[in-house]
Amino acid sequence: MMNCCGLITVQKEPVPLQSIEVELEVKDHVATVVSTLKYQNKEDKPVEAVFVFPLPGDAAVCHFSAVIGQKEIVAEVKEKQEAREEYDDSLSSGQQAFLLEESEQSPDIFSMKVGGLAPGESASIRLEYVTELAVQADDGLRFCLPAVLNPRYQPQGSEGASVQVFSVPASLVPYTLCFCGRLFSPRPICKVESSCSLEPLQYLNTDQTQATVKLAAGHKFDRDVELVIYYKDAHQPTAVVEAGQTSAETGTLMGDPVVMVSLYPEFPQSVMSSVASCGEFVFLMDRSGSMGSSMNSKERHQTCIMSDRDTLLLLLKSLPMGCYFNIYSFGYNYEHIFPQSVEYNQKTMEEALKKVEEMEANLGGTEILKPLKHIYSQRCIPNQPQQLFVFIDGGVVNTKKVLCLVKKNSSCHSCFSFGIGEGASSALINGLAKEGGGHAQFITGTDRMQPKVIQSLRFALQPAVEDISVTWGLPKGVSVTVLSPPITSIFQGQRSLIYGQLTGQGAASTDATDGCVTVRCSLPGQPLEMKLVFSVRPAVDTGLTVHRLAACTLIRSLEMEDREQQHGGMKEKVVQLSVQSGVSSSFTAFIAVNKADGKVIQGPLVRRNIQLTVENKKNDNSVFFPKTNMVISASSLDVIGCKEATAPKQPPRDPLLQLVSLQKASGCWILDPDLAAALGKTSEEVTSEVWATILALIWLHGFKMDAKEEWELLAMKAASWLRAQNGRNLIHKFYLFTPQAVSRNFWMPIKAN
């Protein structure tokens, strides 16, 4: 694995960023993040500092200010070109200026320019954003402070020239990071997990609804700061009504109350116990050069592509008979195992697995748009809803084009996305799932890919939910304008968020009047209704967090509509909303100019690129953001003091995967010496397919219960096969040998009668 790297200029000049302090505040499932970046110019000439950095893709940047001496300068949101011209004009006239702008290509990349730092002068930059926390499949709420910025692949023929950037080990990044967080929840906080070392969780009250969390000393810039927060009884629907801004005009989004409704569907057990037996499952695998790197520092022998192969094995063994499938892989170009999706059976499964074993990280860059276009061009299979699984470890320049394509085809498929390793683009991973009506997962640190992917397969195999509708019941004189896109998919346990602007004379009333929102949909054989009653009375002292999240949601929807229409019709609306709400967009920027002291900066400014942790992705030839001067070329990345490690000997295969590899597509295990060896038995003790299957199931239940989420689907398929063999008595016998009857230290031999 290559060391994570920072950015440095060719001459290796000093850079003026000294430290970053991050304060996190989490209230239920909403996070507010305040970052303070401290600069000092230690040179004998004025400088312009440029800092390119990642943020969560769905973050609403809502504040940008600078403190010079005792003077605070608060930035305004303006149309992007206007802000750039004002910045340039200010520097030309000798004034200090600060510019913060979002990439036009991907909403998770920002650039900040600190212009006009005089020799010896210090500046403190304050950046604030709010973001929703995504619900993981294990019910945890994921917060990620991106610290690693992977190079973004730019498709051939894209405009823009690359800027030469050199890399150094992450340990040499000169600035420090201080991170602390405060957690508030209406329900007890059970635990907080992280890919980074944390100090022990400190509770602030006896009911454990408030707590603080801090990074342990010695944190290095080699990974994102990821927290997963677990609440007790997390799946509780909630609604918050936030009062409008008193200085804003009534009738505008910021002037009216806004409601945020959070719903968690609970399906009947009769529905959840059934698994779909149809569907077209398409797996799109990243095989760019960077997938040859290690999954994490503790298991260097396990590369990302090796984990992909193991994951595909489990996926293919878990598919139901009667479905269709295909596997695509991509780099500069793309490949597919079959010309079009084929019916899942023993022959096609074996053919696919043979090709999977040959997969290597040898396809170069990360061109995902071409294979997606090909997949969507294929004929839909009647009565086989398409489920697309996308695996990627980095990002691309054309994120918004990719998401636009997925949304355009969202009516005919669901998209489940997986970000592999540090620095995977949150805008791309979350956007694929959001626009494709699926679910996103991130595999970082020591996470195993297989359980998370199988959890998403469970979502894909849930019964199809149709005819989704949302209705409101509000007090007289109050109406609602829904700001969120329509709900197109519902999964068991997955949160659905709805933002609405409340208008009318009764909307801002202090009277405690109730309203309700009802979501109705159809499940196989029965309707489902979710209803939440809430007080329309605005909450006290909630700030403008909900308004900003609602504004961000509406801005992203309008930007997507603008790209779909391809004539720029939404730009004016986006700029107006962005300026009014103070929330960033791809068409606006934050601009601050120090006009107070009247000082003029003498002499030309020298540009200094700020070092940032960047993971060197070999063979990707990656660049990013030509239209905003934010470009990195992986071909120009120079690794100092790093050599590729010699490939270690292949470790023995995991016993679970060895057993799974011997299962047939139908669900059974056959008479095979390899199976007997995997079970620790002799061939004489495994004398029929029925008993071979039962023995395999007993082994799974007796020795691999800690990995149950990985094999449960294929075990269900095996049990169904046994029932089809008139094996109900055998099924009964099987359960006598589950862990309740057989300890892990006693493997009871069983012989057929």
Q: What is the 3-state secondary structure (H, E, C) of 108-172?
A: CEEEEEEEEECCCCEEEEEEEEEEECEECCCCCEEEEECCCCCCCECCCCCCCCCCCCEEEEHHH
What residue ranges in 293-372 does DSSP mark as E strands? 324-330, 334-336, 342-343
Q: Strand 134-135 vs strand 141-145: parallel, antiparallel, or unpaired?
A: antiparallel
User: Which of the pair, 216 or 395, is modelled with greater confidence?
Assistant: 216
**280 vs 667: CA distance, rounded Å:** 19
Q: What is the pLDDT at residue 156?
A: 56
Give yes or no for residue 153 having a pLDDT over 90. no
Supply the pLDDT for residue 671: 79
Rounded distance between C-alpha atoms, residue 220 and residue 214, angstroms: 14
Question: pLDDT of 109-133, one tens digit each?
Answer: 888 888 888 888 888 999 999 999 9
Q: Binning pLDDT at 50, 70 and 90, where does residue 496 land?
A: confident
In the predicted structure, residue 596 carries a pLDDT above the cut 90: no
Quick one: tokens of 397?
């320049």
Of residues 554 and 618, more confidence is placed in: 554
Q: What is the pLDDT of residue 528?
A: 85
- Tokens (6 digits) for 191: 């635990």
Query: What confidence category does residue 212 fall into, taking pLDDT thresholds of 50, 70 and 90?
Result: very high
pLDDT level of residue 637 (50, 70, 90 thresholds)? very low
C-alpha closest to that of 574 among 561, 593, 591, 559: 559
Average pLDDT over residues 315-324: 94
Q: Which residues of 187-199 are buried (b: 16+ CB within 10 A; e: fewer)?
A: eebbebebbbebe
Rounded Cα distance, 741 and 739, in Å: 5
Is the pLDDT at 71 greater than 60, yes or no? yes
What's the predicted TM-score (pTM) here? 0.82
Domains of the chain: 4-234+582-636 (2.60.40), 244-264+464-538 (2.60.40), 275-461 (3.40.50.410), 655-736 (no CATH)
Residue type (1 letter), 471: T
How does pLDDT run across 535-585, given as a tens digit for each residue? 998 876 668 999 999 999 999 999 988 887 766 678 999 999 999 999 999
Confidence of residue 630 (pLDDT cuts 50, 70, 90): very low
Q: What is the pLDDT, as a whole number, of residue 462? A: 83
| Mean pLDDT lowest among 52-66, 284-298, 352-366, 726-740 | 726-740
DSSP annotation string for 495-551: -EEEEEEEESTTTT--S--EEEEEEEEEETTEEEEEEEEEE-SPBSS-TTHHHHHHH
pLDDT at res. 44: 82
Model confidence at 170: pLDDT above 60: no
CB 448 within 8 A of CB 475: no
Q: Going by DSSP bridges, is the β-strand pair 413-420/440-443 parallel, antiparallel, or unpaired?
A: parallel
Q: How many helices (H) and strands (E) does the chain have?
A: 15, 35
**Given a cut of 50, is residue 751 above it in pLDDT?**
no
